[in-house]
Amino acid sequence: MPEAPAARRRTTPGPRVVELAGGVGGAKLARGLQAHLGSRLTVVVNTGDDLERHGLVIWPDHDTVAYTLAGLDDAERGWGLAGETWSVIERLGVLGQDAWFRLGDRDIATHLIRTEHLRRGDRPTEVARRLAELLGVASTILPMTDDEVRTEVLTDDGWLDFQEYFVHRGQAPTVHEIRLRGIANARPTPEVLDAIGAAAVIVIAPSNPMVSVGPILALHGVREALRAARDRAVPVVAVSGIVGGRALKGPADRMLTSLGHEASALGVAGLYADLADAFVLDRIDANLEPAIAELGFRTLVTDTIMSDDDARARLAGDVLEFAGASRPTG
């Protein structure tokens, strides 16, 4: 793959922002943040949902973020590329392969490039950089780690790989426990720690706190890096992905309940109380604001539903302005 000349990379002057993100919610907010920040945005993505299917290495959260940042995402379906076709996966099914993980043909081109580079020995971080270049993404997207971490959930059917639970079983089983295989030996990359160290604002995305943001925070050294940022008076702003007691996407609400938390913005805030100093919740949940403030957060109540690019940019602008205003004066 030819390297794009460094001069072609757009750099936007000004302070840098880091977002810790999972899939759809994190991707939408990232798209909004990128509209304000251009190349000053770094998105650290969860890799616990990654998997291999049909010999292809697939990074679901990374690709949702990358496609959304590139403006190539299929807004209606909620995942994958717009204008997709399905010949390969249909043929794999005809050939007796277990084809429940639906891979689009255009999407497979991404997986082929990624898999080829990884098999050659390139670091995931380097592969993500090349994919962002090829897709024309202005921001930086960083896998949380170059090591293998795999999220597994304990259900009544036993321990399941995350995508087996999420896609194959349609999130139907109740989750009793989460474990992150490989987390003890995994390390955040130097790029992730450098980005957190250089950030003027850190945003925790409205992604699933347990299986999307959780794995990033569980990496050895990430919580310490976030605390060090707060000690440097860097605002850490969390955005609730639970609105009116419901996850906007995915099983976060049911997972909060089955794991002993409250399925509400307050429940989410409780999970971030020792890490974030500022919290953004939807107007629908305004009644929860006093309790969230009670946990020690500065709060912003605003519209958090990101139905189109305008709504994404507006919420991102609110979050950035609030972050500036909420900078702890120590």
The residue ranges that bind a copy of itself (CB under 8 A) are 1-2, 54-56, 84-85, 87-88, 91-92, 94-97, 105-106, 108-110, 112-113, 115-116, 119, 134-135
Q: How far apart are CA 183 and CA 198, in angstroms?
A: 25
Are 229 and 197 spatial neighbours (Cβ–Cβ below 8 Å)?
yes
Are 110 and 63 spatial neighbours (Cβ–Cβ below 8 Å)?
yes
Q: How far apart are CA 322 and CA 330, in angstroms?
A: 17
DSSP state of 184: G
Question: From the CB of 292, what's the least distance to a copy of itself, in Å?
Answer: 44
Are 53 and 104 spatial neighbours (Cβ–Cβ below 8 Å)?
no
DSSP state of 13: -
Nearer to a copy of itself, 27 or 132 (CB): 132
Nearer to a copy of itself, 79 or 279 (CB): 79
Question: From the CB of 93, what's the least distance to a copy of itself, in Å?
Answer: 9
Nearer to a copy of itself, 108 or 167 (CB): 108
**φ and ψ at residue 261, rounded to 5 degrees:** -110, 170
Handedness of CA 198, 203, 209, 213 (dihedral sign): negative
Question: From the CB of 127, what's the least distance to a copy of itself, in Å?
Answer: 12
Q: What is the layout of strands, in order, in the sheet containing 199-204?
A: 140-143, 41-45, 16-21, 199-204, 236-239, 278-282, 298-302
Question: From the CB of 82, what's the least distance to a copy of itself, in Å?
Answer: 12
Question: From the CB of 8, what's the least distance to a copy of itself, in Å?
Answer: 13
Closest CA to 271 of 319, 224, 238, 233: 238
CA torsion angle for 263, 268, 273, 279 (degrees, to 10)?
Answer: -130
Nearer to a copy of itself, 4 or 325 (CB): 4
Question: From the CB of 57, what's the least distance to a copy of itself, in Å?
Answer: 10
Q: How far apart are CA 238 and CA 15, in angstroms?
A: 19
Question: From the CB of 121, what's the least distance to a copy of itself, in Å?
Answer: 13
Nearer to a copy of itself, 96 or 330 (CB): 96
Q: How far apart are CA 28 and CA 330, in angstroms?
A: 32
Nearer to a copy of itself, 135 or 313 (CB): 135
Nearer to a copy of itself, 84 or 262 (CB): 84
Question: From the CB of 2, what's the least distance to a copy of itself, in Å?
Answer: 7
For the record, the structure tokens of 277 come out as 């100093």
Nearer to a copy of itself, 55 or 260 (CB): 55
Question: From the CB of 289, what's the least distance to a copy of itself, in Å?
Answer: 46
Q: Locate tokens 């991102």: which residue?
A: 316
For the record, the structure tokens of 91 come out as 């043929």
For the record, the structure tokens of 265 come out as 């913005």
Q: How far apart are CA 68 and CA 66, in angstroms?
A: 5
Nearer to a copy of itself, 28 or 53 (CB): 53
